[in-house]
Structure 1
Amino acid sequence: MTEPLPDVRTFRLSPEVVEPLREQLRRVALSTIDAITAEVPAYADPFAGELGPKIERAVMAALGTFLKLVSRAAGPDPQSPLGPALEGAYALGRGEARNGRSLDALLAAYRVGARVSWHEMAAISLGAGQPAANIAYFAELVFAYIDQLSAASVAGHADELASSGRARLRHLEQLTQALLAGEPEHTLVAAARRADWSPPRTLTAVLVPEHAARTVVDLLDRRTLELNEAGPGAPDFAVLLVPDASREALLGLLRGQRAVVGPPRPWLLVQASYDRAVRTLRMPGRLVRTVVDTEEHLVPLVLTADAPALADLRARVLAPLADAPEDSAAKLVDTLRSWLRHQGRREEVAAELFVHPQTVRYRMTRLRELYGDRLRDPEWISALTIALAVPDPAEFSV
């Protein structure tokens, strides 16, 4: 069973052991830095640049703290030098995370530093006539000290990643909200920069049930923006903003999911894609059970863009039927809609309405009596086609 490392906070070395080490501290620090530079490539440039003197001072401070720690007077010491050293190591770990570096290089530097500094200090101690047993135990102290510094750096690195991760998620959410609100370009560009998010050429808004958002977003580009609550127009739905998506590929990825897919738009104008997806979701009878492509619903979307205007148009063109009994008027409207759709081909109208062609003839005769020459007027034909292209607009909520 491996013996635990000694506690550097309680062990003491005599002044005659420590003094030769302190006198050659700078040489030990420089040897340590040279070894780290040679063996840990990630630190070669920082050590060689303008940070070099700062790093040299930091290494000397770490070694000096160690010597101070193991040579101070025995007894309780609330001002133990280990505290600042651990704080410095913690800050170093946070700095590595902030600069986008993993801990691999830092921990490798600690290992190299421990080995080289121990080798140098052991040589000094041997030259000063220290017995081998003392030097061996001294080695354990060095590695115990480095272990504590390493643990503090690991904690600092982890805390910085957690903190910066939460901050970035907040910034991404704020960016998404700004995009959906149609904020000005300068606001959106600043929000993207704050979130460290590279703007794509286009974004496509996709509405999915809130409970499925996490599953769906894992299928998409990692730059996809997500907002768990799409807004009052789409309760219980989340919105995803998918960058530079091929429409065919996106619809394929979403196959089997419940989703409403808006059109691609330049990233600064994605609010238009979101608005169209919401309007499609709110169309009457649009219960989303699978993937809904808004491009397949352009006609009803256009016709219901101004529901009151469509209702007024419908009332005007159907005014000739106002005095007909309700049941009869409904049948005449269905016949007129089918007649317009099939361009007067009686057999096709009869097949669509499941009636005899003679019934179609009778109803069209009645409609011609009510409308007169207006059924031959191109403007009236256009108005009737538009008014009857969708169900009663009173059913729409837009």
Structure 2
Amino acid sequence: MMCLPPEVRADLGRFLATLEASSSIGKGRESGLCRLTLTESDRQMRDLFVQWCHEAGLRVTVDGIGSIFARRDGTEDLPPVLVGSHLDTQENGGRFDGIVGVLGALEVVRRLNDLGVATRRPIEIVNWTNEEGARFSPPMVASGCFVGDYALDWALGLKDAQGTTIGQALEVIGYRGEAAVGGREIDSYFELHIEQGDVLDRTSHEVGIVTHAYSSHGMLVEYRGETAHTGPWPMAKRKNALVAGARLLVAVDDLGWQHAETGGKATAARLSASPNKAGLLSDWAEAVCDVRHEDPEVAELMRIKMLRAVGEAGIRAGCEYRVLDQWSWGGDIFDKAMVDHVRDAVEKLGLNGLELPSQAGHDAYFLAKHVPTAMIFTPCKDGITHNNNELATPDMLEPGLNVLLHAVMARADRP
């Protein structure tokens, strides 16, 4: 097995140049991005990414849900080491969330090319489709399909607010690929990501060694009521679906405050209603909410309370209700040997690392249930993320990028 000497580092300037190019595509609010998945700006970013991969000598394939894979062959016919994240952003997104992981993986391959270093196992960069879930809910759809947790036909049929399906959007931008979605052997998966929290920044640690994840539970709920005139219709006869959804989300927010002192969080993420017009009660509403806690037992208790609130909100508003979808992820999911690769790289490079949990959802969560997986965190300024003020400076990014380089090399060239 070949190990890179500790003095070998990624080309930070080249990495920052690719990051700057990404930051010019799909601009949103000042210093931020609005690059929603499968939009024109996403197509432009994908095209540029594919161009960079071809220039690096990689073989590019696109699967049936639009995830892009760029393969650097190994010296032996072995399952590949996947490295990546996502290039789509939130509506008011930052320049680093997800993007650092994809472009960091590209820099790893470029640096190995510079050095003329071959690995026993292939290395594949991956850009997952619709990680954010900002346009199509739920998030992390493509990685869920890849490991078989979601059915491909179901995912392709998911609709955005305008009624466009994922399948239609893929056709429009030309990224509905022919490669099979999953169904092949993978050696392992690495994901480099900004922390999306302030622990590393607040404690002045250079890099995060992710040991486990908060247990998270979410759901999509539908309420059905009855339209009526807001003036004359008596309160006792009202069946306002908008009110039912609102009551649920307030109850979920209260649930988060009940567990806040121990690090629990609950999110009222989205409320859609129709007709949603002044002077008219809405007869339909959909609500998205989630809860999370580091302690799986507490997270499960929060999930049960959230589910109970669904019915209580519907009954109070006089509406029918049903849970359309539920999802769970997180917990003690990361492979110990993979975490050791990260830990060893941190020690080898003499960096100030911190072991910590991941609190946000990532594609790595789906992969971790099926293949050995590890995550590496870089600090981000004040923990601000999903916001145009999201900031990870070069000094914050460089240590994690170098840890990724050395950890991937160790994994891909092991006996």
TM-based fold match above 0.5? no
Structure-1-length-normalised TM-score: 0.23
* Structure holding more strand per residue: 2
Structure-2-length-normalised TM-score: 0.22
Q: Which of these two proteins has the greater Rg computed from alpha carbons? A: 1
Q: Which has the higher contact order (CA 8 A, sep 6+)?
A: 2
* Structure holding more helix per residue: 1
